Amino acid sequence: MNKQPTDRRALIVGAAGFVGKYLADELNAAGGWSVCVTKMPQEALSIASVTAYDLNILDRAAVDTLLAELRPEVIFHLAAQSSVAVSWKNPGLTVDVNIKGTLNLLDAVRDCGFSPRVLLIGSSEEYGAVAPEEIPVKETTLPRPGNIYAVTKNTQNQLGRLYAQAYGLDILSTRSFNHIGPNQTPLFVVADFCRQVVEIEKGRHEPVLQVGNLSAKRDFTDVRDVVRAYRLLALTGEKGETYNVGQGKAVEINAILQMILSLSKETIQVEIDPAKLRPVDVPIIEADISKLQKATGWKPEISLGQTLEETLTYWRNQA
């Protein structure tokens, strides 16, 4: 890693997930950053021009040691159990990683003897069941988290705000809406649809695609646009504040599905799978992104069609 004297030292915590490599690539491409990342010991991760460290965020002493060694100027906190479905099945793990892990990081920052900026990545799931008159959702909308994952992310947000106020720490947060793109796990809807289509194209499954709730409307943004927003917020966002990160437009899941099916090489039937239905599901969520745009000048650049096509291509290229 060729570090320049003027480079900002960035630490991406939890970089082995979907977003981490994209964020590291974004920082490297932008220039002016020296990037380190963390992963769990059992995870494999290799990113060009980036040094990776093993870290279990539930080990507070290990977090302290790493911060003392690296002295990052900006910390991007991506480490999370990020699946709503998994949060219903394993609430204890979700609470441990998303709340206790965040608390370990914040306490380590409070005690580290220097003042890094911390960007906590939250979720639009925190808003829960918003009323029609609350669409698009502003950051001032009262959160009504409707699942365990959302509760833990809303707690993270409140902890970040509290630590910024009580201890003067330089912490800001996002509420990130659905982000999609190549290499996302099929725990998430777009990747799941694309994976199933490719499995059918390769003759591994009958031409029937299993789906959950198709009537829900979500605000989808390409992950590469999302990480650009994170970089800009790290530079110009305001301490203690929360920013929506999204496209600013909700799309029905069924419309996404039809776009993917139109790109398929096969004729595919659609079937509802009760196992894919959530115990609680929000009908619509759409972001008001005016606060983000005012703070950073950011706007989405990659179209939904491009993202879907590239995600499908990604799955076609898998073994």
pLDDT digits (tens, 9 = 90+) for 129-166: 898 899 999 999 999 999 999 999 999 999 999 999 99
pTM of the model: 0.94
Residue 1: per-residue pLDDT: 47
Across the chain, what does the average pLDDT equal?
94
> Which pLDDT tens digit goes with each residue over 272-316?
888 877 665 678 889 999 999 999 999 999 999 999 999 999 999
Share of the chain above pLDDT 70, in %: 97
Lowest mean pLDDT among 4-8, 90-94, 112-116: 4-8
* SS3 assignment for the chain: CCCCCCCEEEEEECCCCHHHHHHHHHHHHHCCEEEEEEECCCCCCCCCCCEEEECCCCCHHHHHHHHHHHCCCEEEECCCCCCHHHHHHCHHHHHHHHHHHHHHHHHHHHHCCCCCEEEEEEEHHHHECCCHHHCCECCCCCCECCCHHHHHHHHHHHHHHHHHHHHCCEEEEEEECCEECCCCCCCCHHHHHHHHHHHHHCCCCCCEEEECCCCCEEECEEHHHHHHHHHHHHHHCCCCCEEEECCCCEEEHHHHHHHHHHCCCCCCEEEECHHHCCCCCCCECCECCHHHHHHHCCCCCCCHHHHHHHHHHHHHCCC
Residue 187 scores a pLDDT above 90: no
Q: What is the rounded average pLDDT of the residues 54-69?
A: 98
Lowest mean pLDDT among 42-56, 104-118, 243-257, 264-278: 264-278
Q: What is the rounded average pLDDT of the residues 83-107?
A: 96
